């Protein structure tokens, strides 16, 4: 597994919110992979006991079965604040005090302004932002008591850049950044860190389900990043594991952009096309 550093989470406990995967597998993939699942598997590979929540008990259980370590599958709808709180309690009761909470769950929106309904907007805000606030609020007292804890939020470039298509997704991902910073500032002096991975175009099961797998879609998703390909859930997970680990002991309240150079490209680089900006051989 990419970027696995043996033992960084030995003896530690993690909660991954939204750690199932909902969508088709990639060609040749035995188990459909999404960011939450890859994060849970990565943390387990580095020694963590991992509690996985999902709105679907079956999807959470699938992830836990793939962990190859100590795990706990929990059914919890992130749209329900009581379920979020209960999931934290059940994770602590089942695996012990939490060292790491990964706020991964995030749903797409209903569309652009004018087509977005109030119900779709509220649901995205509930799942993508409120659930993370409520989960963190429940996990924090135990972390404060022990003087350590790390939150990693799974964000998106949509929190900083609009494609004009996804009002509630963009709005909620921007709000999520503020939530991470709030926790970092409020609890930093008590040994708690909070950071966000800002993901670009990741070839996850959810992206295949929502965006499709036709040649055009796969083409533009691969064409836009400077690295000329989509990222993988495992690459997203490696960045999450870094921020959750002691290797990032002095990193808090910030964002790690994991987008293969999607957002470093200026508009003229995109407009001119890859061939025009690609370095000639030797240069
Ligand atoms: N895939 C990408 O291109 C991409 C890009 C940027 C950011 N992200 C972010 O990555 C995160 C994970 O996305 P993914 O693509 O890996 O998805 P995924 O399909 O792999 O996993 C999402 C999981 O969340 C669960 N879920 C959905 N609604 C839920 C709810 N109300 N309560 C609990 N669980 C629920 C689903 O059942 C599914 O198992 C999201 O926050 C998303 O915004 C993804």
The per-residue pLDDT for range 136-145, each reduced to its tens digit, is: 999 999 999 9
Q: Answer whether 199 contacts ligand 1 (Cβ < 6 A).
A: yes
Residue 100's pLDDT is: 99
Among the residues of the chain, which ranges form H helices? Answer: 35-45, 57-67, 81-95, 118-125, 131-146, 167-187, 205-211, 215-223, 233-244, 267-272, 274-277
Q: Answer whether 18 contacts ligand 1 (Cβ < 6 A).
A: yes
b/e map of 126-142 (b: 16 or more CB within 10 Å)? bbbbbbbbbbbebbbee
pLDDT above 90 (res 15): yes
Best CA proximity match to 176, nearest among 131, 140, 123: 131
The per-residue pLDDT for range 104-133, each reduced to its tens digit, is: 999 997 799 999 999 999 999 999 999 999
- Cα 42 from Cα 61, distance rounded (Å): 16
- Cα 169 from Cα 111, distance rounded (Å): 9
Domains assigned to the chain? 13-259 (3.40.50.720)
CA of residue 22 to ligand 1 center, whole Å: 8
Q: Answer whether 71 contacts ligand 1 (Cβ < 6 A).
A: no
* Cβ within 8 Å of residue 133, ≥6 positions away: 179
Q: What is the mean pLDDT of the chain?
A: 95
Residue 2's pLDDT is: 63
Banded pLDDT at 276 (limits 50, 70, 90): confident
- The pLDDT of 175-185, averaged and rounded, is 98
- Quick count: other Cβ atoms within 10 Å of Cβ 41? 28
- Is 169 among the residues known to form the active site? yes
pLDDT above 80 (res 281): no
CA of residue 5 to ligand 1 center, whole Å: 25
């Amino acid at each position: 597994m990419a970027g696995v550093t043996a033992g960084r989470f030995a003896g530690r406990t993690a909660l991954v919110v939204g750690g199932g995967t909902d969508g088709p597998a990639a060609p040749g993939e035995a188990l459909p992979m999404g960011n939450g699942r890859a994060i849970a598997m990565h943390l387990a590979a580095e020694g963590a006991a991992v509690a996985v929540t999902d709105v679907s008990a079956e999807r959470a259980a699938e992830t836990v079965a793939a962990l190859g370590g100590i795990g706990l599958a929990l059914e919890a709808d992130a749209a329900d604040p009581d379920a979020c709180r209960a999931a934290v309690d059940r994770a602590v009761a089942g695996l012990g005090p939490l060292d790491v909470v990964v706020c991964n769950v995030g749903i797409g929106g209903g569309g652009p302004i004018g087509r977005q309904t109030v119900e779709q907007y509220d649901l995205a805000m509930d799942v993508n932002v409120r659930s993370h606030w409520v989960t963190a609020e429940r996990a924090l007292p135990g972390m404060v008591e022990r003087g350590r804890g790390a939150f990693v939020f799974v964000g998106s470039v949509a929190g900083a850049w609009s494609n004009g298509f996804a009002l509630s997704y963009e709005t909620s991902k921007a709000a999520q950044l503020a939530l991470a910073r709030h926790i970092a500032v409020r609890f930093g002096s008590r040994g708690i860190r909070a950071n966000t991975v800002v993901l670009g175009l990741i070839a996850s099961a959810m992206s295949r389900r929502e965006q499709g797998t036709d040649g055009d879609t796969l083409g533009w998703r691969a064409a836009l990043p400077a690295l000329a390909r989509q990222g993988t859930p495992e690459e997203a997970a490696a960045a999450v594991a870094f921020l959750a680990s002691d290797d990032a002991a002095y990193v808090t309240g910030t964002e790690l952009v994991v987008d293969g150079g999607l957002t470093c490209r200026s508009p003229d680089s995109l407009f001119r096309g890859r061939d025009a900006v690609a370095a000639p051989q030797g240069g």
